[in-house]
């Protein structure tokens, strides 16, 4: 059992969780800049105005904007072949609907890509990772408005042209299926009228109108993604454009037929619907009944069907942290997760944040996705959010993280042996960054520690954890010595 010779080992981040520099060198304010910090039990709050003196985690984050050279050097030291990052749309088009792009923003990412190139690290660029220019949310209600498709394409066209030769792999939307989840209108769609406090751990109550708006927002993202795939291919025949799904991976809680059906339903609606549209180029058969029963009417216009067909993605990617179970028993105990999840699986252990750890599930779902889509796959997020302790000598012994990663790497190996065409692995938050769900800093995923706490205090200095040396060895031996 070995990983293929050219396997893309690396790590993953997102702009609003690591860059900081939220309002300098021409960057516009993004939807993520309006989110305060929360915790495991308190939802993050969205504020319509940025409150003076209040703490907004994205504003400084880990200051990757000024420290990218130092950080990329450490990624190179670990042996990264690929680095997943996102471009902050508002750094390129500050308001989203501007006539001209912000030159300083374009040059910033060019410098980052050049720095990666220096070490032979391939960028994997997410075009939209849980943020958009705030102006688009305020003026147009975000993705609920079809005009956002053109604003997004203008932005895509600019970066596709500017970074030709520097980037090969693109992802159109991070965890696009999060917009198919209750209560996620603002977070993943900039739909302000669906906003308010954000609690992505609970099913928020939405009006029929809000649900309809959210699904139309999703439809607009599908069209934007398909058009972006086409545009990318026109600009550079070597571009590879992928979709990215939140791996909301579930099992039936019992063998009771009702549970089996409920799980099938959940998987179709929350997972496969988006994958099917982006990979197969059309809405799946089961969407009709689902939309009908929930009063959802998609605003299809002439040409949409063709656009979806012609804009199928080149590869498939997903995030994988944990699994949950689906049950029809209303009293079954709920479990945590990066988005809304199911009920407890008695066979699994959980992380400190209540996410169930399931390495074998990764092999299972890699097989599921490959069987359904037949495209090359990358696991573009995976990891353990945990608190770390810095010892008096400055070392950090994160054996728990090594164990988590080791077990998942083992299962990827198995999946490759099963015949799955797995081409890359970018564990989440390879350097500690702000948590998307809670806004905390102390929910750490990194192999590199960043000195900063939940209230935003710290020196921002970087420290190599034990997992840093473990991952370096893993990459060096192409997954043989783990």
Catalytic residue IDs: 175, 381
Cβ-proximal residues to 180 (8 Å cutoff; 6+ apart), any chain: 214, 215, 218, 269, 270, 273, 274
Residues 6+ apart with CB under 8 A from 246: 175, 177, 178, 318, 319, 338, 339
Burial 109-141 (b: 16+ CB within 10 A, else e): beebbebbeeeebbbbbbbbbbbbbbbbbbebb
Buried b / exposed e over 47-67, threshold 16 CB at 10 Å, is: eeeeeeeeebbbbbbbbbbeb
Based on CB atoms, which residue is closest to ligand BGP, 190 or 479? 190
Give min distance, CB of 437 to ligand BGP, in A: 3
Distance CA(213)–CA(206), nearest Å, equals 10
Choose the binding region for ligand BGP from 182-190, 340-348, 435-443, 474-482 (rule: CB under 6 A). Answer: 435-443
Q: Which stretch binds ligand BGP (CB under 6 A): 37-45, 228-236, 269-277, 430-438?
A: 430-438
Residue 38 near ligand BGP by CB under 6 A: no
- Residue 341 and residue 324 in contact, taking contact as beta carbons nearer than 8 Å: yes
- Which residue's CB is nearer to ligand BGP, number 185 or number 437? 437
Pair type for strands 462-464 and 349-350: unpaired
Binding segment (CB under 6 A) for ligand BGP, from list 209-217, 234-242, 310-318, 431-439? 431-439
Q: How far is the CB of 33 from ligand BGP (least distance, A)?
A: 15
Span near ligand BGP by CB under 6 A; candidates 58-66, 72-80, 162-170, 432-440: 432-440
Per rule CB under 6 A, is residue 136 in the interface with ligand BGP? no
The answer to whether residue 214 forms part of the interface with ligand BGP (CB under 6 A) is: no
- The residue among 248 and 262 lying less far from ligand BGP, judged by its C-beta, is 248
Site for ligand BGP in 286-325 (CB under 6 A): 319
Selected from 227, 443, 452, 464, the binder of ligand BGP by CB under 6 A is 443
Q: Does 428 participate in binding ligand BGP (rule CB under 6 A)?
A: yes
- How far out from the chain centre does Cα 341 lie? 16
Say if residues 99 and 126 touch (Cβ distance below 8 Å).
no
Nearer to ligand BGP, 123 or 385 (CB): 385
Which listed residue (175, 276, 388, 398) binds ligand BGP by CB under 6 A? 175
User: Binding to ligand BGP by residue 385, rule CB under 6 A?
Assistant: yes
Q: Tokens 């997020």, residue? A: 381
Residue 436 binds to ligand BGP (criterion: CB under 6 A): yes
The span from the CA of 200 to the CA of 452, in Å, is: 24
CB of 142 to ligand BGP, least distance (A): 18
Structure tokens at 225: 């993604």
Residue 174, interface with ligand BGP (CB under 6 A)?
Answer: yes
What's the min distance (Å) between Cβ of 285 and ligand BGP? 28
DSSP assignment of 35-84, as one string? Answer: B----SSS-B-B-SSPPTT---GGGTTT-HHHHHHHHHHHHHHHT-SEEE
Tell which one of 185, 195, 342, 437 touches ligand BGP (CB under 6 A). 437
Site membership for ligand BGP, residue 84 (CB under 6 A): no
Write each residue from 246 to 265 as x if it is in contact with ligand BGP (CB under 6 A), else as -, in one continuous string: x-------------------
Binding segment for ligand BGP (CB under 6 A), chosen from 343-351, 433-441, 448-456, 464-472, is 433-441
Cα torsion 17, 22, 26, 29 to 10°: value is 90
- The CB-nearest residue to ligand BGP is 437
Rounded Cα distance, 274 and 276, in Å: 5
79/247 with CB nearer ligand BGP: 247
Please give the Cα distance from 341 to 326 (Å, whole number). Answer: 8
Structure tokens at 153: 């394409």
**Residues 323-342, interacting with ligand BGP (CB under 6 A):** 338
How many positions of this chain bind ligand BGP (CB under 6 A)?
A: 15
Residue 245 or residue 307: which is nearer to ligand BGP going by CB? Answer: 245
Summarize as ranges the residues that interact with ligand BGP (CB under 6 A). Answer: 14, 130, 174-175, 246, 319, 338, 381, 385, 428, 435-438, 443
């Amino acid at each position: 059992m070995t990983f293929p010779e050219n396997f893309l080992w690396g790590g993953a981040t997102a702009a609003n969780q690591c860059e900081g520099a939220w309002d300098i060198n021409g960057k516009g304010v993004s939807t993520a800049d309006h989110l305060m910090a929360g915790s495991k039990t308190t939802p993050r709050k969205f504020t319509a105005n940025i409150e003076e003196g209040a703490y907004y985690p994205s504003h400084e984050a880990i200051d990757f904007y000024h420290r990218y050279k130092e950080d990329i050097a450490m990624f190179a030291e670990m042996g990264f072949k690929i680095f997943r990052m996102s471009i902050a749309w508002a750094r390129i088009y500050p308001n989203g609907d501007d006539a001209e792009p912000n030159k300083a923003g374009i040059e910033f990412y060019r410098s980052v890509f050049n720095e990666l190139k220096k070490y032979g690290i391939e960028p994997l660029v997410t075009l939209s990772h849980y943020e958009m220019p705030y102006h688009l949310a305020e003026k147009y209600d975000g993705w609920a408005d079809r005009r956002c498709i053109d604003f997004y394409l203008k932005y895509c066209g600019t970066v596709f042209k500017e970074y030709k030769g520097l980037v090969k792999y693109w992802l159109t939307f991070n965890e696009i299926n999060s917009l198919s989840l209750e209560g996620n209108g603002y977070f993943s769609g900039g739909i302000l009228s669906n906003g308010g406090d954000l609690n992505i751990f609970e099913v928020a109550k939405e009006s029929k109108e809000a649900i309809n708006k959210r699904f139309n927002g999703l439809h607009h993202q599908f069209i934007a993604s398909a058009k972006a795939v086409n545009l990318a291919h026109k600009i550079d025949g070597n571009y590879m454009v992928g979709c990215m799904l939140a791996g909301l991976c579930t099992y039936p809680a019992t063998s009771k037929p009702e549970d089996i059906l409920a799980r099938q339903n959940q998987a179709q609606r929350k997972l496969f619907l988006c994958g099917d549209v982006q990979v197969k180029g059309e809405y799946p058969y089961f969407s009709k009944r689902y939309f009908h029963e929930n009063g959802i009417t998609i605003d299809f216009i002439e040409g949409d069907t063709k656009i979806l067909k012609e804009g199928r993605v080149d590869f498939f990617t997903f995030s994988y942290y944990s699994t949950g179970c689906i049950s029809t028993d209303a009293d079954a105990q709920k479990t945590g997760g990066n988005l809304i999840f199911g009920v407890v699986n008695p066979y699994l252990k959980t992380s400190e944040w209540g996410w169930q750890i399931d390495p074998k599930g990764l092999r299972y779902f890699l097989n599921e996705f490959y069987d359904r889509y037949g495209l090359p796959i990358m696991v573009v997020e995976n990891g353990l959010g945990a608190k770390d302790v810095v010892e008096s000598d400055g070392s950090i012994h994160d054996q728990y993280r090594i164990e988590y990663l080791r077990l998942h790497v083992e299962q990827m190996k198995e999946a490759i042996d099963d015949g799955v065409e797995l081409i890359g692995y970018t564990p989440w938050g390879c350097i500690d960054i702000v948590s998307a769900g809670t806004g905390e800093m102390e929910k750490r995923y990194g192999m590199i520690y960043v000195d900063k706490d939940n209230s935003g205090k710290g020196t921002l200095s970087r420290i190599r954890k034990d997992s840093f040396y473990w991952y370096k060895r893993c990459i060096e031996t192409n997954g043989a010595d783990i």
